[in-house]
Amino acid sequence: MKLYWAKRLGAGGALVCLLLLVAFTKAKILWAFTATTYFDYVGGKLGLALFDSLWPPSKGPVSTVLEARLFDAFLILTSGLQWFLVGMIVDWVNFRRQKRRTEISAPI
């Protein structure tokens, strides 16, 4: 089975997440972070719980720059992984369809 769509969707998902995070941090577009949490469901929902369990919260309501950059990197990686898995499912379905098509058209 080739990973044609998995590679492309994984790289595209990580790139889109990176662009949304840059739009949020540099351009101060507030809806970009909300879009990131919907686009990257795994990192947006489970990432906060994971980071809270691994590191104690910083002193005060605002995270440090290092914590924010680590969380951004985590979001980009999980977004790429999530969309890579979606691409693997698409590749698996295509593999099954092609396999079934060759079985039907193969001479007996």
Residue 19 has a pLDDT of 92
The reported pLDDT for the residue numbered 84 is 96
| pLDDT value of residue 46 | 77
pLDDT on residue 49: 75
pLDDT at position 60, please?
A: 58
Q: What is the pTM of this model?
A: 0.78
CA 37 to chain centre: 10
Task: Give the model confidence (pLDDT) of 79-106 as tens digits.
Answer: 999 999 999 999 999 999 988 888 777 6
Q: Based on the number of CB atoms within 10 Å of its own CB, is 11 exposed (0-12), middle (13-18) or buried (19 or more)?
A: middle
**Beta carbons of 49 and 85 less than 8 angstroms apart:** no
List of residues 6+ apart from 85 with CB closer than 8 A: 6
Structure confidence at residue 86 (pLDDT):
95
Which segments in the chain show pLDDT lower than 50?
none
